[in-house]
Amino acid sequence: MRLVIQRVDEAFTTLNGAIENRIATGLLIFVAVEDRDTFKEVHKMALKVLKLRIFNDSNSKMNYSVQDIKGELLIISQFTLLADCLRGNRPSFFKSGDPIHAKKIYNEFVNYMHNKTKLIKSGQFGSNIEVHSVNSGPATFIIDM
């Protein structure tokens, strides 16, 4: 499982030109699932994200978590995060999970986060959407499990 987390001032998704989900200050989280990923890893990753101290305090030090600031979450599935681009010019997606397994793991991640905080929105798994964001900092973090 790989997460790319962006600290944002706002983020939203659109589908066919219409806004689907919008958040204010918080985290935009892209999720990529491998076949070896389990619910146990999902829960560990989710707690890591919620406790990650990446928001600034009054001294501009990263001391606050998304929960500390009551920030929102926008979670998006993105299998391309696992692309292997080392050989040739066309990415290989052999590391990306089988879609049925990946959807279960993604949905578990979203549901687990929803149980921990109600300030959550998510994209629909496998849909072709546009993601718009204002990255704060910029601050982007990658977590692999």
Q: How far apart are CA 108 and CA 92, in angstroms?
A: 26
- If one counts every other C-beta atom within 10 angstroms of the C-beta of residue 118, the result is 8
Residues in contact with 36: Cβ distance below 8 Å, sequence separation at least 6, in sequence order: none
Torsion of CA 10, 107, 130, 85, to 10 degrees: 110
């985290």: which residue's tokens? 27
Catalytic residues: 78-80
SS3 of residue 67 by DSSP? coil
Nearest Cα to 31, choosing from 42, 19, 20?
Answer: 42
